[in-house]
Structure 1
Amino acid sequence: MTSTDEATTGRQQRADARRNAAAILDAATRCLARDPDASINEIAKAAGVGRVTLYGHFDTRATLVGAVVDRAMQDAEAALSAVDLSGDPVDALRRLIDATWTITNRYGALVVAAERTLPGGEMEAAHEAPRARAERLLERGRAEGRFRDDLPVSWLVTMLHTATHAASAAVYAGEMAAEDAPRAIAATMLGLLTPPGGVVPDPRG
């Protein structure tokens, strides 16, 4: 084999490897969105590769779940960064919740899979950008007197993400319809965020 042939073969192998990795990520996303306990065998079969090939790219199931979550969070950040958070903080919060739920529901049971598989530190790191966005909105709402200021903002943001993940788990378990989740999340958060003695806004505006 000539050096040119070897170079061509090397490029082809790298291209094949990239396609396999992308196919595995796509298949893992689909499988985990349906079933948070989807096995490596199921994911490999859906990707059209063998276990050896899958493990050549992702050495453990946790590594694969982490890679799927990373890609999902990149998609989420692109979508959420486009949400208009100006104007009345309550209206902005409703829009943020609606957009966040659209992304969360798109990935279905992946949220459940991530919580079951990844260490807490990895989940926290994955949510850094969404947390920072929510913190800025809540801080502005507090400054404008729309949100309570007697609880730490970090706690309130944690409750927002907890409510969102709880809704995802409830939808997966069949306890709630997906279309009802944004209202449930908004009702929960507005009840919590409204200053003591204030009138809780309608969750749907």
Structure 2
Amino acid sequence: MTRSPRSDARANRAGILDAARSALALDPRASVDVIARSAGLSRRTLYGHFDDRDALIRELISTGAQRFNAIAESITDADARLALARLAARLWQEAAHVQFAAALALDEDHVEHTAIALAPLRRAVAQLVRHGQDDGSFRADLTAPTLSRLIEEVARTVLARTDASSSSAADLAVRTVLSIAGLSWRETDQLLAAHPDITEIAA
């Protein structure tokens, strides 16, 4: 039985996205020709799915953002400290995708699209920050929007600049986020000792 044209088109599109992730992870400036060859398709076929290279990159950002947004939605801890730590740990599970997306997000041409795609994740962090400030868990010397933005920027920097294969990388990411939120290193030690599953998730 042969596959329908629609099935072939879906397979080609998925193959293009996979090839683009691999090619751009190796070389952020990889051309459409390189990506098409990596996917085993012609340049013409690629353009049948995406208008141009920017459209392809926007799709990669969107699909990556869906994963991050779903992770944010899955966090249900009532304790804001636990929720923020678990969010950072689970995002680290996506380290390879996060680091690739972070490189794209730092490209000024895609900052606006990235911000829109990650809006649910940003809302989740903002809600966590407000909750933590209200119950005294997080620092209150900064407004909630400012603290949320600081957490986002520092987390993105850590994810973009830390070797995801390092055994201590996940722990570093969680500790950095909690530090920015206002926890001391002793408080973070106590929290992670009481809930070892948080960093084990990202191990």
- Sort the TM-score into its range (normalised by shorter chain): 0.7 to 0.9
Aligned to 2:121: 130
Amino acid at match of 1:59: D
Cα–Cα, structure 1 residues 80 and 40, in superposed 2: closer, same or farther, change >3 Å?
Answer: same
Cα–Cα, structure 1 residues 110 and 39, in superposed 2: closer, same or farther, change >3 Å?
Answer: farther
Q: Does the alignment pair 1:181 with 2:169? A: yes
Aligned to 1:33: 25
Q: Does the alignment pair 1:89 with 2:80? A: yes
Question: How many Å apart are 1:106 and its aligned residue?
Answer: 3.8
Mean Cα displacement is larger for which, 110-119 or 72-81?
110-119
Identity %: 29
Aligned to 2:144: 153
Separation in 1 of the partners of 2:25 and 2:168?
19
Question: How many Å apart are 1:156 and its aligned residue?
Answer: 1.6
Q: 1:55 pairs with 30, 47, 55, which one?
A: 47
Contact 2:64 2:97 in 1 (8 A): no
Cα–Cα, structure 1 residues 181 and 115, in superposed 2: closer, same or farther, change >3 Å?
Answer: same
CA deviations on 1:16-41 (whole Å, 9 max, x unpaired) are 32221121112212333343333222
TM-score (norm 2): 0.79
Q: Say which one has the larger Rg.
A: 1
Separation in 1 of the partners of 2:75 and 2:147?
20
Structure 1: 5+ residue runs without aligned partners? Answer: 1-10
Contact 2:69 2:120 in 1 (8 A): yes
Q: Secondary structure at the match of 2:94?
A: helix
TM-score (norm 1): 0.79
Structure 2: 5+ residue runs without aligned partners? Answer: 193-203
Q: RMSD in angstroms over aligned alpha carbons?
A: 2.6
Contact 1:31 1:38 in 2 (8 A): yes
Separation in 2 of the partners of 1:131 and 1:164?
12
What are the within-5 Å matches in structure 2 for residues 8-27 of structure 1?
A: 12-27=4-19
- Count of matched residue pairs: 189
Question: How many Å apart are 1:132 and its aligned residue?
Answer: 0.7
Amino acid at match of 1:18: R
Contact 1:114 1:123 in 2 (8 A): yes
Question: How many Å apart are 1:111 and its aligned residue?
Answer: 2.1
Amino acid at match of 1:43: I
CA deviations on 1:107-130 (whole Å, 9 max, x unpaired) are 542320342264322121011011
